[in-house]
Amino acid sequence: MRYITVYTTTDKSEVSVLKSLFEKSKIDFQLQEEKPPPAGERPIPEKRFQVNEKDREKAREILHETGYLRVQTHQNQSTSRKPMKRWIFLFLAALILVLVILLITWFMNPDI
């Protein structure tokens, strides 16, 4: 049997949740754990969920339904919003600068 890694985590709570979900769905899986790293390196070992090749799609569906696997289908839409946010930020910054200049001029000029 060939096993494929479908999820990697360092969080113990994720491990327990996914273990129970896979067992409940009767998915053939194994949990591979890295050997503890030597002192001075990354302190938390990664754990990999590997499922049988025939159960891969079912495992991915479970991961997607529970929110552990997020598939981005509208990637172009999210990148098109970033320039708009930048323009809004620049506009607000310019507006604040103009207001500060007006207030300084107003308080510094006693004749008005």
- CB atoms near residue 80 (< 10 Å): 9
pTM of the model: 0.55
Task: Choose between 85 and 93: higher pLDDT.
Answer: 93
Q: CA end-to-end span of the chain, whole Å?
A: 86
**pLDDT surpasses 80 at 108:** yes
Angle, in degrees to the nearest 10, between helices 12-24 and 56-66: 130
- Which pLDDT band holds residue 39 (cuts at 50, 70, 90)? low
Highest-pLDDT range among 35-44, 86-95, 103-112: 86-95
Cβ-Cβ contacts under 8 Å for 17 (sequence gap 6 or more): 66
| Cβ atoms of 52 and 1 closer than 8 Å | yes
Strands (E) located in 1-112:
3-9, 29-33, 47-52
CA dihedral 82, 83, 88, 93 (to 10 degrees): 110
- CB atoms near residue 55 (< 10 Å): 19
Per-residue pLDDT tens over the stretch 42-77: 567 788 999 999 999 999 999 988 888 765 555 555
Amino acid at site 88: I
Structure tokens at 84: 């708009």
Per-residue pLDDT tens over the stretch 16-34: 999 999 999 999 999 888 7
